[in-house]
């Protein structure tokens, strides 16, 4: 088990008001990489978030994906007039490519026109990929994995899906190549607050959480922050040294990377992330949780947290590449 920073009890009661139960209505978008976003919170938080979503134009989709969304993550309707025209188009060149594992790559895109981007940590951008034999391009969204303080470039973290339009296109890019994307959009975002933060990720669901962690580090946050990250085996490990460095900038940050199928002399945590949440999180009255990854993890961790009490739970679910046909996930 690998940790960085000092361990602090998460979700301890600090006199917060008891929050009423809420069964979230998910905003389902027709995107093959990102299935749903959702949040559990108080009625006040739901209204504030719905207002933020509407102002930001989070219902905007590409022409291939445009559909009236019947609810925000809080179940509040979005004005149907918000369309894909709200999103901005950026051109950029590939300034750096890092191979992180056998099938995961980090791509840095430096902006050309416009030269700056402003986004909230956790938001995503979308690529439209022309395909032979199809009249409509394939639209693939990817979470921004870099800090919002870097306004002249964005970093993406993605896995390779053989035959997948999005990953085949992005994995085919070389340094110096020029591409375009649209965005940023998304309501799975980190906001200011005092609650302890719990991040739970599987696979490349770490991408938006990495952006959130860098944002907290850049702000020298004193919030208690815990990350549980589930990967398959040793060959799937990456960002471990970076997480340790982030811990040097955030005194109350700790992280645990757990492997579900280790094959060597792995001395860290073994198994899925849900048992960690079950055993290591004593209470949730002062907790805010962000869950990003596969459907099973989202469901299990959400249910575990609900049994412990009431707290805001932000969820972003991706399709499982290996379990679905013709779809891609982060």
The verdict on residue 144 lying in a domain is: yes
CA–CA gap between residue 214 and residue 37 (Å, rounded): 21
Q: Are residues 294 and 205 both part of a single domain?
A: yes
Instruction: Name, of 11-25, 33-47, 55-69, 120-134, the range with top average pLDDT.
Output: 120-134
Q: Are residues 151 and 194 both part of a single domain?
A: no
CA–CA gap between residue 62 and residue 278 (Å, rounded): 39
Q: How many domains does the chain have?
A: 2
What's CA 132's distance to the chain center, in Å?
A: 31
Q: In the prediction, which pLDDT does 132 show?
A: 86
Query: Average pLDDT of 14-23?
Result: 29
CA–CA gap between residue 324 and residue 327 (Å, rounded): 6
Q: Which has more confidence, 320 or 131?
A: 131
Query: Average pLDDT of 212-216?
Result: 97
Q: In the prediction, which pLDDT does 265 show?
A: 87
CA–CA gap between residue 219 and residue 213 (Å, rounded): 10
Q: Give per-residue pLDDT as tens, 148-184.
A: 999 999 999 999 999 889 999 999 999 999 999 999 9
The verdict on residue 310 lying in a domain is: yes
Residue 240 confidence (pLDDT) above 60: yes
Q: Are residues 133 and 201 both part of a single domain?
A: no
Average pLDDT, the chain: 78
| Residue whose token pair is 């979503």 | 53
Residue 268 confidence (pLDDT) above 50: yes
Q: Give per-residue pLDDT as tens, 101-150.
A: 999 999 999 999 999 999 999 999 999 999 888 999 999 999 999 999 99
Q: In the prediction, which pLDDT does 264 show?
A: 83
For 60-64, 165-169, 298-302, 310-314, which range has the lowest pLDDT when averaged over its residues?
A: 60-64
Beta bridge partners of 254: 226
Query: Average pLDDT of 250-256?
Result: 97
Q: Are residues 57 and 199 both part of a single domain?
A: yes
Structural domain including 100 reads 87-185
Q: Where are the beta strands (DSSP E) in 232-320?
A: 253-259, 269-270, 287-293, 313-317
Q: Are residues 117 and 219 both part of a single domain?
A: no
- pLDDT band per the 50, 70, 90 thresholds, residue 319: low
Q: Alpha-carbon dihedral of residues 172, 176, 180, 186, nearest 10 degrees? A: 80
Residue 271 confidence (pLDDT) above 90: yes
Residue 252 maps to which CATH number? 3.40.50.80
Q: Are residues 176 and 196 both part of a single domain?
A: no
Please say which residue of 170, 185, 200 terminates a domain. Answer: 185
Residue 15 confidence (pLDDT) above 90: no
Q: In the prediction, which pLDDT does 79 show?
A: 30
What's CA 32's distance to the chain center, in Å?
A: 15
Q: Give per-residue pLDDT as tens, 64-85.
A: 322 222 222 322 222 333 334 4
Q: Are residues 214 and 167 both part of a single domain?
A: no
Q: Which of 27, 61, 56, 1 is nearest to 280 (CA)?
A: 1
Please say which residue of 153, 185, 217 terminates a domain. Answer: 185
Residue 328 confidence (pLDDT) above 70: no
Q: What is the DSSP letter of 56?
A: H
Rounded to the nearest 5 percent, the helix, strand and coil shares of the chain are 25, 30, 50
Please say which residue of 137, 168, 185 terminates a domain. Answer: 185
């Amino acid at each position: 088990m690998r940790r960085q920073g000092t361990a602090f009890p998460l979700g301890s009661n600090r006199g917060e008001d008891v929050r009423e139960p809420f069964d979230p209505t998910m905003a389902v978008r027709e995107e093959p990489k990102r299935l749903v976003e959702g949040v559990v919170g108080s009625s006040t938080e739901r209204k504030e978030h719905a207002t933020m979503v509407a102002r930001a134009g989070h219902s905007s989709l590409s022409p291939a994906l445009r559909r009236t969304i019947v609810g925000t993550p809080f179940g509040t309707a979005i004005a149907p007039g918000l369309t894909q025209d709200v999103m901005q188009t950026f051109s950029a060149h590939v300034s750096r490519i890092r191979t992180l594992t056998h099938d995961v790559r980090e791509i840095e895109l430096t902006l050309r026109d416009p030269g700056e981007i402003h986004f909230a940590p956790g938001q995503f951008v979308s690529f439209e990929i022309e395909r032979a034999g199809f009249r409509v391009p394939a639209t693939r969204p990817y979470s921004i994995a870099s800090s919002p303080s870097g306004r002249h470039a964005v970093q993406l973290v993605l896995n390779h899906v053989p035959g997948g339009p999005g990953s085949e296109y992005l994995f085919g890019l070389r340094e110096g190549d020029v591409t375009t994307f649209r965005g940023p959009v998304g309501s799975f975002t980190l906001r200011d607050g005092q609650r302890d933060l719990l991040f739970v990720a599987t696979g490349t669901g770490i991408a938006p959480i990495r952006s959130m962690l860098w944002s907290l580090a850049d702000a020298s946050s004193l919030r208690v922050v815990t990350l549980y990250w589930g990967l398959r085996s040793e060959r799937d490990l990456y960002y471990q040294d970076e997480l340790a460095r982030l811990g040097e900038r955030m005194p109350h940050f700790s992280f645990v990377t757990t492997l579900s199928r280790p094959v060597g002399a792995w001395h860290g945590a073994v198994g899925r992330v849900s048992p960690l949440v079950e055993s290591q999180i004593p209470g949730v009255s002062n907790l805010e949780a962000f869950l990003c990854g596969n459907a099973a993890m989202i469901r299990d961790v959400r249910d575990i947290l609900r049994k412990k009490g009431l707290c805001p739970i932000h969820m972003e679910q991706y399709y499982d590449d290996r379990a679905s046909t013709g779809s891609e996930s982060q």
